[in-house]
Chains A and B, each alone.
Chain A
Amino acid sequence: MLDAKVSPYLFVSPFFVLFLVVGMFPLGYTAWVSVHQWGLLSGQGDFTGLENYRRVLEDRYFWNALRNTISIFLLSSIPQVLIALALAGLLDTQLRARTLWRMSVLLPFVVAPAAVALIFGNVFGDRYGLANEVITWIGLEPIRWHVDTLASHVAIASMVNWRWTGYNALILLAAMQAVPRDVYESAALDGAGRIRQFTSITVPMIRPTVIFVIITSTIGGLQIFAEPRLFDTQGLGGSDRQYQTLTMYLWELGWRVRDLGMASAVAWLLFLIIVVFALVSLLVSRRAGTLKGHHRRSAPLKGARR
């Protein structure tokens, strides 16, 4: 029948046509733009080979943005995964009003990054901010959150952490609930305490999900834009670009400097950086997991795995 032969293709084709046109084609075409002189207003100019890449790689603000992006990424992803793991462990108990607790930890997720940035920009105000108020109340010197490079990175990372920790905890929680309960019982019989059960059974057994969380936060984290962009009113990443990220740098080149060729080179470089980082975090988390695995096998936890 014609229907049975043709219809499946009709069903998948809207997706493929649209996805190729608005998703894949722009990504590939970025490479084409990046080897040309290409002004925002003047449009396509001469073919220049790798000239745009050379100019980007010789620009100290590119390296500055790369450093900032990695620093903010590390400050947001590492604490986030650790806290999310602990939080998921707390939620993976026989809580009363379980759904309410789960919903409560997801609350920050519904606040848009732009709003988060404005709120935290105020909390981390250099003069009248809540953070400094608390710090001086303890008796320490106030921190110049918008001036110091590291302090600004901590403030921006805290926005990401605040919004995403609960979300990731729920993903980890789902994986934890799939761990068979009798594994814990035999571990408890062997005398393993709650913390020991968590580090020796729960975390190794949900390793694939932990890796999934790490990879997705890598892909998202390296493209961070709204939070640093709205941390101050100028939107260029601070007086000395001390918190300008790669996506902000791309934006500045494209829509301030109006050099789409150079901006495209940055887009491709960022794409490569994301691929490399995703692979590295995959390898690192795999390796960390395997080391844990050896440890478990030698530990006196018989029957921990079936």
Chain B
Amino acid sequence: MNRRPGFFVYGLLTAFVLGSCAPLYWSFLVGSHSREVLTKRVPPLLPGGHFWDNAQRAFDAVPFWKALGNSLIVSGTVATSVVFFSTLAGFAFAKLTFRGRTPMLVFVVATLAVPTQLGVIPLFIVMAKLGWVGSLWALIVPSLVTAFGVFFMRQYLLDALPDELIDAARVDGCSLFRTFWTVALPAARPAAGILWLFTFMATWTDFFWPLIVLPASNPTVQIALQQLQSGYYVDYSLVLAGATLSTIPLLVLFVLTGRQMVAGIMQGAVKG
């Protein structure tokens, strides 16, 4: 709406943002106090000095660094693969004419909302047959493409890539793949970056499938977190120090690219 917002709007927004930050601060707060402090009810509202002690205990309790490496490998590979194959297919759907294009595109759109997550049981059976249960392959291979990615890139390239550029490249004798590589891929960069970010985050935060296929000795970050909380007595100084640590990589990513994330969500909403 048009008018400049007053004190009331800023007040409400500030309250909401404080609510958004509070659980993270709480996590750090609990993670920074010693076990002894926490047994005496709720900790004081200022951080204590035990965060690194608690973090150290978390590193001793679970293979945290290995989990971090695994999460990076899986999320990075999956995101890159999704972006590449989506851009390739999205380019064909947006700019090339071929028999069967429309029904194929309808198929992509129709499967957008299908919860493929529910196919975990056969997926597990297949992974077991291939001997991939317990290895990162079981996380990477089933996630190499998404219907959403194809649709997203197609929508973007439809407007962002002028037909004249493709024609010019074709006249110059470029093969279609070379045209894709030198013309479409550069033009797709803004959307590709956004798709990469969101795929990376979705893979990083996934919990259900890694819990099924990965053992305690070869976890992702989310699975390592789950192990911190095992047993009947929960040591929250340890658990929430771990939860805070596990959030830092995505927080860094958020600080660096939050602007693009916001733009991506708002663009996707308009187009989708």
Contact = CB atoms under 8 A, between A and B. Distances in A.
Interface SS of chain B: helix
A230 B226 contact: yes
A102 interface: yes
A102 B262 CA distance: 7
Interface in B131-152: 141-147, 150
Interface in B100-134: 101, 104, 111, 113-126
Contact of A93 (B4, B117, B147): B4
Contacts of A202: 1
A138 interface: no
A48 B1 CA distance: 61
Contacts of A92: 1
A298 B23 CA distance: 46
B205 A113 contact: yes
Interface residues of B, number: 100
A198 B42 CA distance: 41
B171 interface: no
B1 to A, nearest CB: 6
Which of A27, A120, A278 counts the most chain B CB atoms within 10 A? A27
Contact of A122 (B2, B10, B180, B236): B236
A97 to B, nearest CB: 10
B175 A3 contact: yes
Contacts of B12: 90
B120 A184 contact: no
Interface residues of A, number: 102
B125 A260 contact: yes
B14 to A, nearest CB: 9
A91 B85 contact: no
B225 interface: yes
B204 interface: yes
Which of B12, B27, B116, B265 counts the most chain A CB atoms within 10 A? B265
Nearest to A129: B42
B204 A112 contact: yes
A64 interface: no
B116 A26 contact: yes
Contacts of B267: 174
B1 A105 contact: no
A285 interface: no
A215 interface: yes
Given A3-B175, A19-B145, A274-B115, A95 B5 contact: yes
Interface of A: 3-5, 7-12, 14-16, 18-19, 22-27, 29-30, 32-33, 43, 87, 89-95, 99, 101-116, 118-123, 128-130, 133, 162, 166-167, 170-175, 178, 181, 184-185, 194, 197-198, 202, 209, 212, 215-216, 219, 223, 225-226, 229-230, 233, 235, 247, 251, 254-255, 260, 263-264, 267-268, 270-271, 274, 278
Interface of B: 1-5, 9-10, 12-13, 16-17, 19-21, 23-24, 26-27, 30, 38, 41-42, 85-86, 88-89, 91-93, 96-98, 101, 104, 111, 113-126, 141-147, 150, 175-177, 180, 201, 204-205, 207-208, 211-212, 221-222, 225-226, 228-232, 234, 236, 239-240, 242-243, 246-247, 250-251, 253-254, 258-259, 261-262, 265-270, 272
13 contacts: A9-B98, A12-B93, A14-B85, A19-B145, A26-B122, A32-B122, A91-B13, A107-B20, A119-B240, A175-B270, A223-B115, A233-B229, A267-B118
